[in-house]
Amino acid sequence: MEEAAVPLLEQAQGIVNVVQAAASEWSGLVDAYRAPEAAELVAAFGTPTRVSEGLRAGLATVFRALMGYADSVRELNRRRGVLLEEIEDFRRRTRLRLGEAVPFDGVPETPSLGSSHGKPVALELAELRQRVSSLAAEHEQAEQDCARLICAVRPVDVSVPVYYDGGTVTDFAVERTRSRLKDLESAEVAGATGALEMLELLGTLTPGQLLDYGMAESDFLRSGFSSPPPVGQVKDWWAGLSSEQQAALLVAAPGVIGNLNGVPFKARAKANRVNLDAVFKDPRTSAVDRAALQVIYEALEPRKGNDEDPAAPRSMVSFTPDENGKPLVAVAIGDLDTATNVTWNVPGMKTTVADGLESWTKSAQDLYRGQERALEIQDDHPGVAVVSWVGYDSPEEPPSAEVLSTELAKAGGAKLAAALDGFTETRASESVDVNPPSLNVVAHSYGTTTASYALKALKHAVAMATFFGSAGIEWREIGSAADLHVAKDPAGKPEVYVTAASEDRVAPLGIVGSGLRGREGRWDPADDWFGGKIFSSEGGYDPDTGKVYKRTAGHDAKGWAVDGSGDTVFAATTGHGYLDPRTESGHNIALTSTGRGHLIKELIPLRHEEKPGYGGMSFPTGPLIERDLTPEELAEEQSR
């Protein structure tokens, strides 16, 4: 399908080129031909030129529809392959055929043979059938979406040569609208008023006209508004559009829609994917930038789970192709339109799309899984979502002095505040029966500095904030945790949690180094002045069960260094990062970011293996014991 779609666009452009070349040659008559009808003769190629442009616009619409359908089919085929494997496994274990009319009351209520989850056969069969039906419905919807866009293309009308699908807008009105849109572009849509006017003008165009405008102004429409309209006005505007206009805008203005608070996140994700594809395929995109964009594609691939732990959907909820020479992106794990517990995960220094998105999104995935486990402990299952937010220009690592300054943190904090308030207002409901989602912020290293500025600037308080491995807070501007717009517990203390590992040697350097710049010196939020709720990252054993939680052994959110190597001077070892599964810090951050910080336990400190010494005596001088305690060992610890 893609192979068939590309020649369509190439042939359309070829027609335009031929007609324009002929028109250029024809215009040479103006110097060689003198007669009363000369102007009409020279203008004779005006209509063919407009018609060829209209043909290109129509075929471009068909091209985009087919390419979008191809992307949908590719994803559906991938999921179909996974489902077929599971169906075959089900058949093997139960000797049932999915298509057979097996009465549920005739299926034994016993676990499936070889099943890892122990579901009754009837329930497992019903779930598989439901997934088959859902997949078929999604395929049908993709076909309908493609057909809707293609059917919007109409034969070129010489009287209105450039635009499609007729509509009630006259040629003069369309030209006036396009002229005003161009004026707004030239002014770079200064202020929210100009941005709102642009949206309202776009709302007067038909789907075909929107696609034509988007093709003509594609570079401008790859970026979002610098000063977007109020979210409430955007929500009303979006709701007032037809579904066909909405679908066309995702293609015509992907950068605008993909970053526009007030538009549903599912629609934003589709627009951002269109934008990503366009930038990636643009011949002007450098090899370096294309490599960075490839990292985004990989980050959007959901990690395959199993029957009990299915892979969570991933989507791109914001995308800026180029800011200070590099892209910015936010990847959501889970559904931001429906999740009742949402967490923004804010990274620290040197976290770019090219160098940090992969690792940071893996840490966001670890946090997502940890939150699910924390909620299961409570037998409470609201939907969760975690945003891997690489949405600001983070500082370079030393020897660059950027990390010692707060300049990038202030700029990033403004972006983060807009994203958080935008989420709150987008999800706000006028119905008293709808509870707002719980919004949380988790921040690491220099990201805590950035988050502190954002949390102070918020219009709407978040439920919780957790800082780990902090590079320091600017104490002259933020006097304590009480200055942040974060909810308070029943005792009136802000729900702001802080942890710092004793083996984290990087965070203290950032704090001390910032003081070398004089007035900008930052202080450690783990100290008493800040008033945060402190928890440990040193690891230990659950005092009730003996379950081990590993220590954090470095500065990273996700550990990667080989134990005993020189990298461990500053880097966390594999499995010992702040957000790694089964670490004390990762477990506690999952609790705080689901409103369960009060369940944090004081653990039994990790024990060392005992090594024999002189005189037959043993001393605890060996490596730390990072395994669950036996009942006997737990009883011994409890008796101390």
Structural contact between residues 585 and 578, judged by C-beta atoms closer than 8 angstroms: yes
Q: What is the distance between the alpha carbons of residues 232 and 227, in angstroms, rounded to a whole number?
A: 14
For β-strands 464-468 and 496-499, DSSP reports them as: parallel
The predicted-structure confidence for 208-244, as pLDDT tens digits, reads as follows 788 777 777 777 888 888 889 999 999 999 999 998 8
Report which of residues 6 and 608 the model is more confident about: 608
Structural contact between residues 67 and 16, judged by C-beta atoms closer than 8 angstroms: no
pTM over 0.85: no
Identify which of 57-71, 302-316, 506-520, 541-555 has the greatest average pLDDT. 541-555
Token code pair at residue 185: 């572009």
* Positive/negative CA dihedral, 47, 48, 50, 54: positive
Structural contact between residues 554 and 568, judged by C-beta atoms closer than 8 angstroms: yes
**C-alpha to C-alpha distances, 165 to 142, 209, 242, 562, nearest whole angstrom:** 21, 8, 14, 62
Task: Tell me the pLDDT band of 290, cut-offs 50, 70 and 90.
Answer: very high
For β-strands 533-534 and 314-323, DSSP reports them as: unpaired
**C-alpha to C-alpha distances, 302 to 6, 278, 282, 383, 575, nearest whole angstrom:** 28, 22, 26, 17, 21
Token code pair at residue 184: 């707004």
Q: What is the DSSP string of 431-450?
A: -TTSPPPEEEEEEETHHHHH
Question: What residues form DSSP beta bridges with 618?
Answer: 612
The predicted-structure confidence for 402-457, as pLDDT tens digits, reads as follows 888 999 999 999 999 999 999 999 999 877 778 899 999 999 999 999 999 999 99
Report which of residues 619 and 260 the model is more confident about: 260
Quote the pLDDT of residue 165: 41
Q: What is the distance between the alpha carbons of residues 183 and 172, in angstroms, rounded to a whole number?
A: 17
Quote the pLDDT of residue 102: 43
147: number of Cβ within 10 Å: 12
For residue 498, what is the enclosing H or E element?
Answer: strand 496-499
For residue 343, what is the enclosing H or E element?
Answer: strand 341-346
Closest CA to 443 of 461, 477, 469: 469
Q: What is the distance between the alpha carbons of residues 208 and 424, in angstroms, rounded to a whole number?
A: 33
Token code pair at residue 357: 């998105």
Token code pair at residue 610: 């005992």
CATH number of 303-540: 3.40.50
Tell me if residue 612 falls in helix, strand or coil: strand
Structural contact between residues 584 and 603, judged by C-beta atoms closer than 8 angstroms: yes
Tell me if residue 468 falls in helix, strand or coil: strand
Closest CA to 5 of 69, 77, 55, 76: 69
Task: Tell me the pLDDT band of 149, cut-offs 50, 70 and 90.
Answer: confident
C-alpha 559: how far from chain center: 22
pLDDT over threshold 60, residue 9: no
The predicted-structure confidence for 302-337, as pLDDT tens digits, reads as follows 765 544 456 788 999 999 999 888 999 999 999 999
C-alpha 215: how far from chain center: 26
The predicted-structure confidence for 558-600, as pLDDT tens digits, reads as follows 999 998 888 888 899 999 999 999 999 999 999 999 999 999 9
16: number of Cβ within 10 Å: 18
Q: How many CA atoms lie within 13 A of 41 on its CB side?
A: 13
Q: What is the distance between the alpha carbons of residues 140 and 131, in angstroms, rounded to a whole number?
A: 14
Identify which of 24-28, 217-221, 379-383 has the greatest average pLDDT. 217-221
Q: What is the mean pLDDT of residues 589-613?
A: 89
C-alpha 458: how far from chain center: 20
Token code pair at residue 442: 């988790």
Token code pair at residue 629: 């305690």
For β-strands 438-444 and 533-534, DSSP reports them as: unpaired
